[in-house]
Structure 1
């Protein structure tokens, strides 16, 4: 059941890898700022705490645990632990964490090419790798300090090895696939659906139907084994959360992930479609994807694998998995990153079809490609890279001021809402609160719990959300100005909490 290869000169594998690595190395030295710094700060804090507090894999810690240990109910910390190993060897530098993400993402480009080659032929696979190398979402989340790049590597490895095994590969291929699939589920859980469904379909088709497939033990051992190890970790994580009171909100009413009524309105689906078209596909990738999804014409299916339908199935599975947690999916665009594992090979097929037309279509294809790359670079520059610069960053200014004004072991109350970016940048432990939490009782409680200072900004509340003018801001300013050393000269303030501090 192999795939025939396209004739012609072999395409250079190093080119998409080089392009992908080059784009992902842009601003690799950037601090934790910009898009989704919230998520990155928590991941980076875990890595730093592993490196500095002891390499105990089963005890992930964040910075916003107040006076406590900071142990938190979290996803399987494979990525931050890997970063911590680098920190132990070379010191705490964010570029090491970004470098690990870059490595994972470049390896994913290689696997996307291999998947495309097996399902669609040599040229479609190669161009699929090019698209994964240059499109905005894979580039940006292929160099952020969060586990998305590792997740994509594990997912691509699971799919690629499964295809190898179905084509008569050794049992080692399915073992590697299972390990990668289990790792992906541990890191994020939702791959159990968006990756598991395509793999299950592949298994049934490869074995001649559902009846034949379900008769073999591996059809049960593969998913049940992955489910067992995933459940074991999240049971342990639940115990950590219950003991410390700290969680990323996987369970319960406070999770704010499962407002399924959103699925009934146009807003969720319209915004999702717009985001995917712009951030994932750079607009010009949309027609290429549609062209790749079209069934081949009679006599033009050479090089196309019978199992190629797993790719559109994967697209649907990612959308369905996201709908299980619509609140999270609507806010966090990296939940649409897995679409690219299935979309890029199809886009590669769309490009090949466009190029195989008349001379006019061939010239138009190069124009589409050029414009898509230009749009992608524009999106990356304006929406992502520009926001990582420290110049003019209120969060960076506040973090530096906290570092300068408090000792290393100080516990700080940071008025940045639930956003941990400032606390991470300051390299301090403490509490995250909103400005309205400031009261006489709370200030006294913070002092009793061991807080050394209160810090915040008049420019932003969270690291990205402007602090609007109004009574709340005026009240905070009056209180800050009434404390020693008086009104700050800039937008950031750090007020020591001691016996002489007055509350509003």
Structure 2
């Protein structure tokens, strides 16, 4: 590789890396702290108690899927991201910054792979534009530094398609192996990477036609990609107590193809949040721009694969904005094609200047509106949970079990650095947690009916206007009336 090419790759990596350092020291209490704190809890548990990839554990004893979870299993994605973070924790000490830096690294590496893939299938200019847009897109900046496996998933998704393109053109077994391994990691972190079969199949069939089925590399890719996922799913299905109930993600409320479905995904997410109006215009310019022979319809098939995924997991995509992250890479390629389309199609000097100006304005609008929509994601809206968590860590034994009610959001419990529960329950169940499961303390940032119930019956460790820590081992059970359980219903998600 020439020095100039190396410099381009380094530039793109750094361009993506630097903006993702913004508020890198944020505690895990910003946007989507729920998902981040679960991921971070698994990494911290690995650092403290050993790395067990088959049985990752979070801090939460609260039943999952309605089943008791006394081992605190957190069986979702294969915990390769958590293990990497845990290794850094063991080397340098437990600090959220290291977890965020792992995500920043993979987001920056994804930028490089997007450039290489687009350069391979279109040209260097469009590849460079796509990578730059991917690096500076505000929505992508925020989600490129979260404590979640998604940046790693996106990185290996793009890498798998890039290595596949190399295998198609050079037919080396080494590239088939790299493709299969990258695709395996992508699917182990997020199983919906299986939709990449659509653009991958287009690329392979376009190159080899039916002769593709005679290529050993094809079977290497499929075996390396699919077998690890199948084994992992087989394993975690033996422990449903540690799995999230995910059926609701598909079409809860029959939202698919309703007006709300299209409004949320197209207008609110794609237009306002992700591509931020200016980028959305460029996105459509890219869709209608000319395609070169080498490119074919690859990126359209990639886009179609993402649309199929978003449609199938309709409720999940409407509920969570980060579910649209697989749209970002192919969206940035189409935006780059849109910019390239404008820059090449002006008539005369004045026409070219106008097109350059329009392209620049649209990119600036994307940055301005995108930052306006995402700037609040970095905020810590409830700093009291951090202060209360620090108090628990300072005032209670390291092996204490804590109830930290926060509407089942584990972010509060995570701040305490203790194992425990993330919500209240009815009185009888709470007493069971105290007597049988060893619940030692209740920490609350709300003086609501549930908290006051236990305040009336137990001694406090500390109490101020922001939070209270209650010693549950001092509670007087005989004062509890069964009638009170009606006021302590489980708080719904």
In the alignment, the residues of structure 2 paired with residue 353 and residue 342 of structure 1 have an alpha-carbon distance, to the nearest angstrom, of 16
Instruction: Give the structure 2 partner of residue 293 of structure 1.
Output: 287
In the alignment, the residues of structure 2 paired with residue 229 and residue 475 of structure 1 have an alpha-carbon distance, to the nearest angstrom, of 45
Gapped regions of structure 2 (runs ≥ 5): 63-68, 485-493
**What is the 5 A alignment of 1:2-21?**
12-21=8-17
In the alignment, the residues of structure 1 paired with residue 357 and residue 9 of structure 2 have an alpha-carbon distance, to the nearest angstrom, of 24
What is the Cα deviation at residue 115 of structure 1?
Answer: 1.4
Equivalenced residues, count: 462
Give the TM-score normalised by the residue count of structure 2.
0.87
Contact 1:101 1:150 in 2 (8 A): yes
What is the Cα deviation at residue 61 of structure 1?
Answer: 0.6
Give the aligned CA root-mean-square deviation in angstroms. Answer: 2.5
What is the Cα deviation at residue 224 of structure 1?
Answer: 4.4
Instruction: Give the structure 2 partner of residue 54 of structure 1.
Output: 50
Instruction: Give the structure 2 partner of residue 202 of structure 1.
Output: 203
**1:392-434 deviation line (CA, Å, top 9, x unaligned):** 5232233223223422110012222321111111100012224
What is the Cα deviation at residue 349 of structure 1?
Answer: 1.3
Matched, 1:317 2:319: no
- The structure 1 segments of at least 4 consecutive aligned residues displaced by more than 6 Å after TM superposition are none
In the alignment, the residues of structure 2 paired with residue 11 and residue 180 of structure 1 have an alpha-carbon distance, to the nearest angstrom, of 25
What is the Cα deviation at residue 14 of structure 1?
Answer: 4.1
In the alignment, the residues of structure 1 paired with residue 141 and residue 310 of structure 2 have an alpha-carbon distance, to the nearest angstrom, of 21
Instruction: Give the structure 2 partner of residue 367 of structure 1.
Output: 361
- Residue of structure 1 aligned with 2:442, choices 438, 454, 457: 454
Instruction: Give the structure 1 partner of residue 226 of structure 2.
Output: 227
In the alignment, the residues of structure 1 paired with residue 7 and residue 70 of structure 2 have an alpha-carbon distance, to the nearest angstrom, of 56
In the alignment, the residues of structure 2 paired with residue 29 and residue 352 of structure 1 have an alpha-carbon distance, to the nearest angstrom, of 37
Instruction: Give the structure 2 partner of residue 426 of structure 1.
Output: 416
1:458 alignment partner, SS class: coil
- C-alpha change, 1:10 and 1:360, in structure 2 (3 Å) is farther
Instruction: Give the structure 2 partner of residue 469 of structure 1.
Output: none
Contact 2:61 2:70 in 1 (8 A): yes
What is the Cα deviation at residue 362 of structure 1?
Answer: 1.4
Instruction: Give the structure 1 partner of residue 96 of structure 2.
Output: 94
Tell which deviates more after alignment, 177-186 or 66-75: 66-75
Instruction: Give the structure 1 partner of residue 489 of structure 2.
Output: none
Contact 1:13 1:126 in 2 (8 A): no
2:170 alignment partner, SS class: coil
Give the TM-score normalised by the residue count of structure 1.
0.86
- C-alpha change, 1:425 and 1:476, in structure 2 (3 Å) is closer
Matched, 1:416 2:411: no
Instruction: Give the structure 2 partner of residue 80 of structure 1.
Output: 82
In the alignment, the residues of structure 2 paired with residue 354 and residue 11 of structure 1 have an alpha-carbon distance, to the nearest angstrom, of 27
2:470 alignment partner, SS class: strand
